[in-house]
């Protein structure tokens, strides 16, 4: 009962602190760590059941990494190919080398410098995917590249975290290579084959019962975590690989959504416990290293990625946006340092020091990513040094320069229907889309199109908006639509402007700004159905004709891959 009361108090404090974090638009992970600091021995000294919290927190990490593993589909890496591999590996190498020399200059020992330098290389896949999802940038070119090199980082982290628990003090390198690495590679091969040939069939069979699917997923996660722990590897990495083996399953979204509530609760306890272990007396001695390394992560890591992407021929804008996604350290970084403490290579003082860097960089990078477009406007003229001259590999332009009557921003789902209607008017139509695959597909259909982001002012300046007769935006982002409306209305009062919105208040503001018509998808279905009832009344034959037409329409949508958008909160 004492543990129950203790947990109740801790969770109550967590609710208050994370509520404040939401107001400040910060990741809730910061609130969890701050709760641990407040409830820890340095302040309220509430936490006494450390062993119980530790067990629960390890379950949280296992579930966290299991869900991360579900998103590590090889298909994602294949999509971004060369740039993800080069930037992922290159950023890890350069950050490690530079970070090591910085740590040595700051007076840390060689072993501590190695650990800290490697920890600085990993960025938070979960936080970045959540921010990209919130911004609607998961499908953009920079979003795909970012996810790609974050996955490459995760794979590197897997290998490092597999090896560290098996390294005793004064280890024999030959035994390490022949034992740990070979055993680890063997496990990876076996699990990869199981994930391809066995698990998809199993999940298809058991998915008929959603409860059984959830139970199987939890059992598979904990079984592999226990197996890896038994074989002297990290049980957390066993959980991650359990998720990875299920990443090719058609039910990975259902598994992820069902396990997320469990993860969200248990992961809270991990970061609370982590915060409670921070040693402020030791941190005060490391103020200079904390500030120095935080600045290196917030500024140096993005510069490394921008340089690598620039050398590969990408535009400065995509390089800048992708670079910001590595401006923080991740859960892997904290787990790496915690493992170093566990095996006796590091002290809790170093764990507290790296956690402080994590707090600063996670908070700072969140603001940078959320306001990336505004930041880019102010500094874009200084970023030319990161861009090679000549044609860029990400400048997909499949149109002739000139004046177009209609410009359509976004050509997926709603946009495709609007494009078909615009083509029937026999007027010139230019499509601008931020999904490179969509642009290539449109080009194959001989549609005038180009790759671009509607929030990119430099792109808008290239388009002849003063002469356009109709602008259509299927992008639901309110700020982007405001920018488009203002940009056109400044020089063109007569253009017809159609935009999309999901909120009534925002739709009214868009009308006030100058929109001609605001499309609200959530209300279109009911409105259309009411019109059918008024038109056909109780005539079954007419409704059956509409039914046949709608089925044909939906099958065509399915063929083109226009699924209903999924709402994933990573």
Distance of CA 182 to the CA centre of its chain: 32
Residue 567 has pLDDT above 60, yes or no: no
pLDDT value of position 99: 92
Compare 395 and 10 and report the one with higher pLDDT: 10
Residue 120 has pLDDT above 60, yes or no: yes
pLDDT value of position 570: 33
Compare 105 and 312 and report the one with higher pLDDT: 105
User: In this predicted model, what pLDDT tens digit does every residue of 200-254 receive, in sequence order?
Assistant: 788 878 877 878 888 888 899 889 888 888 877 767 778 878 888 887 777 777 7
Lowest mean pLDDT among 27-41, 445-459, 551-565: 551-565
Round to whole Å and give the CA distance between 314 and 308. 9
pLDDT value of position 64: 74
Give me the architecture of the 397-519 domain, per CATH: 3-Layer(aba) Sandwich (3.40)
pTM score above 0.85: no
Averaged pLDDT of the chain: 79
User: In this predicted model, what pLDDT tens digit does every residue of 479-510 receive, in sequence order?
Assistant: 888 989 998 888 888 888 888 888 888 889 99
- Is the Cβ–Cβ distance between 297 and 361 less than 8 Å? yes
* Short-list 120, 124, 32, 112, CA closest to 348: 112
- Domain segments of the chain as ranges: 2-171+256-386, 397-519
- Is the Cβ–Cβ distance between 70 and 247 less than 8 Å? yes
Residue 149 binned pLDDT confidence (cut-offs 50, 70, 90): confident
Compare 395 and 153 and report the one with higher pLDDT: 153
Compare 157 and 172 and report the one with higher pLDDT: 157
Residue 261 binned pLDDT confidence (cut-offs 50, 70, 90): confident
- For the segment(s) 2-171+256-386, the CATH number from 1.20.1530.20, 3.10.28.10, 1.10.10.60, 3.40.50.300 is 1.20.1530.20
Residue 188 binned pLDDT confidence (cut-offs 50, 70, 90): confident
pLDDT value of position 568: 39
Residues linked to residue 430 through DSSP beta bridges, in sequence order? 407
User: In this predicted model, what pLDDT tens digit does every residue of 89-100 receive, in sequence order?
Assistant: 899 999 999 999
Q: Give the DSSP letter of residue 172.
A: -
pLDDT value of position 559: 62
Residue 63 has pLDDT above 70, yes or no: yes
Round to whole Å and give the CA distance between 419 and 404. 13
Residues with Cβ within 8 Å of 10's Cβ and at least 6 positions away in sequence, in order, are 35, 39, 46, 47, 272
User: In this predicted model, what pLDDT tens digit does every residue of 318-353 receive, in sequence order?
Assistant: 899 999 999 988 877 877 888 788 777 887 788 888
Residues with Cβ within 8 Å of 294's Cβ and at least 6 positions away in sequence, in order, are 357, 360, 361, 364
pLDDT value of position 97: 93
Classify burial at 162, counting beta carbons within 10 Å of its beta carbon; exposed 0-12, middle 13-18, buried 19 or more. buried
Q: Do the first three CATH levels of 2-171+256-386 and 397-519 match, i.e. the same topology?
A: no
pLDDT value of position 564: 47
Q: Within 13 A of 64's CA, how many CA atoms are on the CB side?
A: 25
User: In this predicted model, what pLDDT tens digit does every residue of 388-431 receive, in sequence order?
Assistant: 776 666 565 656 666 788 888 887 656 566 666 666 655 678 88
What is the rounded radius of gyration, in angstroms, for the C-alpha atoms of the chain? Answer: 26
Residue 167 has pLDDT above 60, yes or no: no
């Amino acid at each position: 009962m004492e543990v129950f009361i203790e947990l109740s108090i801790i969770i109550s404090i967590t609710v208050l602190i994370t509520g404040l974090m939401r107001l400040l638009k910060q990741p809730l992970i910061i609130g969890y760590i701050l709760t641990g600091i407040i409830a820890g021995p340095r302040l309220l000294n509430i936490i006494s059941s450390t062993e119980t919290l530790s067990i629960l927190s390890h379950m949280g990490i296992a579930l966290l990494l299991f869900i991360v593993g579900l998103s590590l589909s090889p298909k994602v890496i294949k999509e971004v190919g060369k740039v993800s591999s080069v930037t992922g590996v290159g950023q890890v190498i350069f950050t490690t080398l530079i970070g090591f020399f910085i740590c040595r200059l700051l007076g840390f020992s060689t072993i501590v410098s190695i650990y800290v330098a490697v920890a600085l290389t990993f960025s938070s896949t979960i936080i970045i995917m959540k921010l990209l999802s919130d911004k609607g940038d998961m499908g953009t070119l920079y979003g795909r590249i970012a996810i790609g090199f974050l996955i490459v980082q995760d794979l590197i982290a897997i290998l490092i975290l597999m090896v560290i628990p098996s390294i005793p003090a004064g280890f024999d390198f030959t035994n390490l290579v022949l034992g740990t690495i070979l055993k680890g590679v063997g496990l990876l091969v076996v699990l990869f084959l199981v994930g391809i040939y066995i698990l998809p069939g199993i999940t298809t069979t058991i998915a008929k019962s959603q409860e059984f699917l959830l139970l199987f997923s939890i059992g598979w996660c904990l079984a592999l975590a226990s197996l890896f722990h038994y074989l002297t590897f990290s049980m957390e990495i066993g959980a991650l690989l359990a998720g990875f083996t299920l990443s090719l399953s058609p039910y990975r979204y259902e598994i992820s959504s069902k396990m997320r509530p469990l993860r969200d609760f248990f992961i809270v306890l991990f970061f609370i416990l982590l915060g409670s272990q921070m040693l402020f007396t030791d941190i005060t001695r490391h103020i200079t290293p904390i500030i120095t390394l935080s600045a290196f992560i917030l500024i140096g890591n993005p510069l490394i990625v921008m340089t690598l992407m620039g050398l590969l021929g990408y535009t400065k804008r995509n390089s800048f946006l992708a670079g910001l996604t590595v401006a923080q350290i991740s859960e892997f970084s904290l787990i790496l340092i915690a493992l170093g403490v566990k095996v006796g290579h590091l002290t809790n003082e170093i764990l507290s020091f790296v956690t402080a860097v994590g707090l600063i960089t996670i908070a700072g990078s969140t603001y940078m990513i959320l306001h990336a477009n505004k930041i880019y406007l102010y500094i874009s003229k200084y970023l030319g040094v990161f861009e090679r001259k000549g044609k860029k590999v990400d400048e997909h332009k499949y149109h002739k320069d000139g004046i177009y009557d209609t410009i359509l921003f976004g050509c997926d789902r709603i946009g495709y229907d609007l494009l078909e209607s615009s083509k029937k008017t026999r007027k010139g139509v230019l499509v601008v889309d931020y999904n490179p695959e969509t642009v290539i597909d449109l080009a194959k259909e001989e549609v005038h199109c180009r790759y671009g982001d509607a929030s990119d002012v430099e792109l808008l300046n290239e388009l002849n908006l003063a002469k356009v007769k109709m602008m259509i935006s299927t992008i639901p982002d309110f700020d982007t639509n405001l920018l488009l409306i203002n940009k056109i209305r400044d020089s063109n009062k007569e253009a017809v402007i159609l935009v999309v919105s999901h909120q009534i208040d925002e739709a009214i503001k868009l009308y006030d700004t100058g929109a001609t018509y605001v499309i609200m998808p959530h209300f279109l279905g009911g409105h259309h159905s009411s019109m059918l009832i008024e038109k056909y009344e109780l005539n079954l034959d007419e409704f059956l004709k509409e039914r046949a037409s709608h089925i044909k329409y939906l099958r065509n949508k399915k063929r083109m891959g226009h699924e209903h958008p999924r709402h994933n909160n990573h």
